Copies of this chain bind each other. A is one copy, B any other.
Amino acid sequence: MRKIAVLGYGTVGSGVVKVLTVNGEKIAERVGESVEVKKVLDLRDFYGDPIQDKITHDYEEIIGDEEIEVVVETMGGVNPAYEFVKKALLAGKSVATSNKALVEAKGGELLEIAREKQVHFLFEASVGGGIPIIRPMLTSLTADEIKEITGILNGTTNYMMTKMFYEDADYDEVLKEAQEKGYAEANPEADVEGHDASRKIAILSSLATGRQVSFEDVYCQGITKVTATDMKYAKELKGTIKLLATAKFKHGKLKAMVAPFFIKKDHPLYSVNDVFNAIFVVGNMVGDTMYYGSGAGKLPTASAVVGDVIDALRNPGRNYIRPWSKEKLVPEDRGTLKWRFFIRLQDSVSEKDVLGAFTEARVIKLADVAGEYAVVTPLLSEAEYEDKIVPFKEGILQMIRVEGEL
């Protein structure tokens, strides 16, 4: 019998207990012994829940218990998770966490401690929910130099963008619906402003480069300004709009951004709908690879956490994640990033001026949208774009970047 503890009996924490119960037999086969949750740390009590016998309000009971080999941290937030995880690692216990805020802020340091102590600090569930992404990147794509990571990394906003696209609904409407269904929080800022996706692309970038990439340094634009009219244009252009997080690596430099992007119908991210996530990892030898699955949800996320627990139990002392250094890698200035731009303009802006600024731009007019038109520019840097729009900036109703061609 191998023993673990769970910190936080919320959605993911209770999911971990459920996965270990429902698939207990299979898991025992794979570990070689059955796996038992010995203690659950929570401020609350859960009378009537079979877990109540295991509830403790005192973390020292877990730290001091030598039988407990792995600590699962599913509390969320940097504090007090950070102190708890650090203590567990220093006590020689492995840790599996789903906590992206903790990993983004303290991952390098915690990995370093894990390495010194020859235990695991694993966080597959912190990016892409149930999708295997961190382990494949670090244990399968080892023959490659990673050139790019681009993905749909936030389930809430992808659910909203999907609704807006398929149901011609406006932003406020779908936000309300997402909140009613429990997909979006009462304060949806972390999701809709793109901060959650920024944290995740920062974690993947730190892993890919071995240096600390901080989410505050990643230029980030949320979905709050995307409208039903934008989606109409997307349909006309045989594409859709998705919140993408992207990081490109070249000669030790990083270009990164989180923003809504147009993508075309034949792009593999086009059919990633609802709360599903998908992440492209591009290698210099393997080319494009993509990983798809549930980006959130109790059981998918718990499945990833338990996968990490099993890894820690099966491979003591075999930490496959190299700690990233404290040395910061700050993304290059946004001005250097290049793509096409989709712009909606008031009719008062002369088409001639716009086409003069963007040679070979493509003009789109929708029969049922009056008083405006749109263009898709050729490939430009953000700096060039800002420069070119100066004469008619007042007349711009919307700008959305384009991933690839349109």
Beyond A130-B289, A140-B307, A143-B309, 17 extra complex contacts between A and B, CB < 8 Å: A19-B285, A22-B285, A23-B143, A23-B144, A23-B284, A23-B285, A130-B286, A132-B141, A141-B307, A142-B310, A142-B311, A266-B273, A285-B299, A285-B300, A286-B300, A289-B293, A291-B292
List, sorted by A's number, 6 A–B pairs whose CB atoms are closer than 8 Å: A23-B143, A136-B136, A143-B303, A271-B271, A290-B290, A291-B291
- Quick check: is A287 within 8 A (CB to CB) of the other chain? yes
> Nearest-CB distance from A267 to chain B (Å)?
7
Pair A289/B131 contact, Cβ less than 8 Å: yes
| Nearest CB in chain B to that of A139: its residue | B135
8 Å CB contact of A271 from B140, B270, B291: B270
Pair A293/B290 contact, Cβ less than 8 Å: yes
Give chain B residues whose Cβ lies under 8 Å from the Cβ of A292: 268, 288-292
Give chain B residues whose Cβ lies under 8 Å from the Cβ of A300: 285-287
> Nearest-CB distance from A17 to chain B (Å)?
12
- Quick check: is A232 within 8 A (CB to CB) of the other chain? no
A266 to B306, CA, bound (A): 31
Give chain B residues whose Cβ lies under 8 Å from the Cβ of A143: 19, 23, 27, 302-307, 309-310
For the complex of A and B, the 9 pairs showing the least CB-CB separation, nearest first, are A132-B140, A143-B306, A290-B292, A289-B293, A286-B303, A130-B286, A285-B303, A132-B136, A142-B310
Copies of this protein chain in the complex: 2
Pair B27/A130 contact, Cβ less than 8 Å: no
Size of A's binding interface in residues, CB under 8 A: 55
- Quick check: is A11 within 8 A (CB to CB) of the other chain? no
- Quick check: is A30 within 8 A (CB to CB) of the other chain? yes
Give chain B residues whose Cβ lies under 8 Å from the Cβ of A307: 139-143
Give chain B residues whose Cβ lies under 8 Å from the Cβ of A19: 143, 285
8 Å CB contact of A289 from B132, B271, B287: B132
Give chain B residues whose Cβ lies under 8 Å from the Cβ of A382: none
Pair A299/B287 contact, Cβ less than 8 Å: yes
